[in-house]
Amino acid sequence: MDLHLSGRVAIVTGASKGIGLAVAQTLAAEGAHVVAASRKSVPELSGDIVHVPVDLMDPLAPQHLVDVAVERFGRLDVLVNNAGGPPPGVSLPRFSFTAPTDDDWRTMFEFNLFAVVRMIRAAVPALLENGGGSVVNVSSGSARLPAPMNVDYNAAKAALNNLTKALSEEFAPQGVRFNTVSPGPVRTAWWTEEGGAADILAAATGNDRDAVIEQVAPEMMKLSTGRLVEPQEIADVIALLASPRSAATTGADFAVDAGFLKQV
């Protein structure tokens, strides 16, 4: 299926690994001009992908990204707010409401909500000037499943869902669509890197990290498919939402979560 993305211009944040890298590569493969934002580049961000080294905790970074996209390609059509999860230097999961401090809460919201707010604020004028476009915010299934584990992260993503609905109401009539994609546990560095979620859960449950990834975590989170989600499975849905083929889809949340959410 032709997604009609050829020649369109997209910004993807958190693009150096995991979901963001898969999204950047998928959009580029569909013919889009991709501006990939991350603190560091990787060899996979090559070819037609333009990497911009930024730290989205810097309030000036979003406008710089938009300026690069418009100066390089003359327009902006798509924004994928993928950067999120544990803030730099933070390891998750945390197992109780009492674990995060005030500073932890502030940092979590700064990275997962306020950085997105600033990115959207910078991008909307360029999207409107071009006659509209698509914004996809990467949320989490945990936003809709309150639990004491990672309570600060869950709350930040719940706020992101609310924000996305509100922005859709305001800007969809002007041609800018806003949607969220809510992954479940995804086989990314959050889980697999040293000191990541797999190691933390392994220490808490008395298992090894491989067993956590392959069996313990899927069982603990009651994943219907019995496995973690792959980044490409998220990227495919984001590409469709970025596409004009989804012109009637706005204010929606798409769970790509291996059956994590059970609610109707």
Contact yes or no for 47/36 (Cβ under 8 A): no
Marked catalytic residue, from 109, 153, 178, 191: 153
For the chain, the farthest-separated pair of C-alpha atoms sits apart, in whole angstroms, at: 55
Bridge-partner residues for 133, per DSSP? 176
Torsion sign, CA atoms 211, 213, 219, 220: positive
Q: What angle do CA 105, 82, 233 make, to 5 degrees?
A: 125
CA distance 255 to 84: 17
- 153 assigned to active site: yes
Cβ(58)–Cβ(21) below 8 Å: no
Q: Helix, strand, or coil here: 30?
A: coil
Q: Could you give the CA distance from residue 203 to residue 22 in angstroms, rounded to a whole number? A: 30
Active site residues: 153
